[in-house]
Amino acid sequence: MKNINLSKWRYVSSAISILLMLASLTIIGVKGFNWGLDFTGGVVTEVQLDKKITSSELQPLLNTAYHQEVNVISASEPGCWVLRYSDIKSADTEPSATDIKQVLAPLSSEVQVLNSSIVGPQVGQELAEQGGLALLVAMVCILGYLSYRFEWRLASGALFALVHDVVFVLAFFALTQMEFNLTVLAAVLAILGYSLNDSIIIADRIRELLIAKPKLAIQEINNQAIVATFSRTMVTSGTTLMTVGALWIMGGGPLEGFSIAMFIGILTGTFSSISVGTSLPELLGLSPEHYKVQVISDTP
């Protein structure tokens, strides 16, 4: 591969990365997230009904029972419905409203509750705070480790790539308005780890080359490092994408959000570690001097 072309490719893709990131931030700002039950509080019930019943029959019945607009979504299987509404105080309504089987009795006598969750608003709030805290703590710890292990210019590249990946995944969830729940948050945190994985392996190579070949230009070193690690990057990203893909296809509804987030995270993680991850340290003026072996004087 022509290394000059590679440099050019890196700069162009870095520019694209930054543009995409800005667009992502705008999307997040404009659309916001479709927070899941874990964070908002409320009630989610999944029921199995007679297959003939349609949502237009369900909707008015539920709306009058719960005195609010009940969110009715058809689940993957026919006759399966996910009902979502905000929590009601049992004192406010007739006692029958608390039992979904009685509410739906006029439509179908065969009501099977597959699962139901009731989360108080306070708990949701706390979970959101905890999640934010987890994200923050993980970031700070990683930052600490990176700055200890690598020179700050090199570390900043990895860090920028990391923020890029997380923002991109978040933007995807804002754009599609897919539910952002606790498992998706876990995926975002796992992306933190995996995105760094790629960046660190390239950074390790850059460091090695900087020490071994201090005469070489930094662009050249970066290019060599990318080429040297390229087949590893592809193989590992490939196997991880394949397994996450398997999870996406076979894992069913509860893991869908998780696997989509991971899938996108791994894709952008690979891309960003090659593009912005290496270009930023270059821009910040990383040079072999930063890794020159310190001469220790013989006399104490």
Partner 1 sequence: MERKPNQRLLNHYSAWKYVVLIATLIVMLFSALPTWYGEDAAVQVGAKAGLTLTPIALRDKLQAEGVTVKRIDQKNGETLIVLDEDSQQTLVKTLLSSMVTEPKELTLSLASAAPNWLQSLGFQPIKLGLDLRGGVQFLLDVDIEPVYQTQADTLVESLRQFFREHEIRGASARVSAASVDQTSQLYLSLPDNDARAAVRQFMKETYPSWQVTNADSANLQAKLSLEEQTKLRNLTVQQNLQIMRSRIEELGITEALVQRQGEHRIRIELPGVQDPAAAKNVIGATASLAFFEVKESGSVNAMVLNDKSGNPIYVSRMPVLGGDHIVDARASIGEMGMAEVNINLDRVGGQKMSEFSRSKIGKPMATSYSEYSRDEQGKAKQTQEIISVATIQSQLGDRFRITGAGTYQEAQQLALLLRAGSMTAPVTIVEERTIGPTLGAENIENGFAALGLGMGITLLFMALWYRRLGWVANIALISNMVILFGLLALIPGAVLTLPGIAGLVLTVGMAVDTNVLIFERIKDKLKEGRSFALAIDTGFDSAFSTIFDANFTTMITAVVLYSIGNGPIQGFALTLGLGLLTSMFTGIFASRSLINLVYGRDASRHVKV
Candidate list 20, 28, 182, 267; residue touching partner 1; CB under 8 A: 182
Is 236 a binder of partner 1 (CB under 8 A)? Answer: yes
- Helix, strand and coil percent figures for the chain, each rounded to 5: 70, 10, 20
Candidate list 81, 160, 180, 258; residue touching partner 1; CB under 8 A: 258
Q: What CA–CA distance (Å, rounded) separates 14 from 273?
A: 10
Contact region with partner 1 (CB under 8 A), list: 50-58, 186-194, 212-220, 279-287: 186-194
For partner 1, what does the binding mask look like between residues 204 and 223, x meaning CB under 8 A?
A: xx------------------
Instruction: Quickly list DSSP for 87-152.
Output: ---TTTS-GGGG-HHHHTTTT-S--EEEEEEEE-HHHHHHHHHHHHHHHHHHHHHHHHHHHHHS-H
70 exposed, middle or buried (CB, 10 Å; 0-12, 13-18, 19+)?
buried
Is 93 a binder of partner 1 (CB under 8 A)? Answer: no
Candidate list 190, 220, 287, 288; residue touching partner 1; CB under 8 A: 190
Contact region with partner 1 (CB under 8 A), list: 50-58, 238-246, 272-280, 289-297: 238-246
Size of the site for partner 1 (CB under 8 A): 64
Residues 8-67 that bind partner 1 (CB under 8 A): 46
Q: What CA–CA distance (Å, rounded) separates 269 from 162?
A: 7
Q: What CA–CA distance (Å, rounded) separates 225 from 232?
A: 12
Closer to partner 1 by Cβ: residue 263 or 271: 263
Contact, 128 vs 36, CB < 8 A? no
Contact region with partner 1 (CB under 8 A), list: 18-26, 61-69, 103-111, 255-263: 255-263
C-alpha torsion 141→155→274→282, nearest 10: 160
Backbone angles phi, psi at 57, to 5 degrees: -80, -35
Minimum distance of partner 1 from residue 79's CB (angstroms):
13
Question: HSE (CB half, 13 Å, CA atoms) of 152?
Answer: 1
Minimum distance of partner 1 from residue 235's CB (angstroms):
5
Q: What CA–CA distance (Å, rounded) separates 5 from 223?
A: 10
Is 232 a binder of partner 1 (CB under 8 A)? Answer: yes
Closer to partner 1 by Cβ: residue 75 or 175: 75
Contact, 268 vs 286, CB < 8 A? no
Minimum distance of partner 1 from residue 131's CB (angstroms):
8
Chain residues binding partner 1 by CB under 8 A are 46, 112-120, 122-123, 126-127, 130, 133-134, 137-138, 141-142, 145-146, 149, 182-183, 185-186, 189-190, 192-194, 196-197, 200-201, 204-205, 228-229, 231-232, 235-236, 238-247, 249-252, 254-255, 258-259, 262
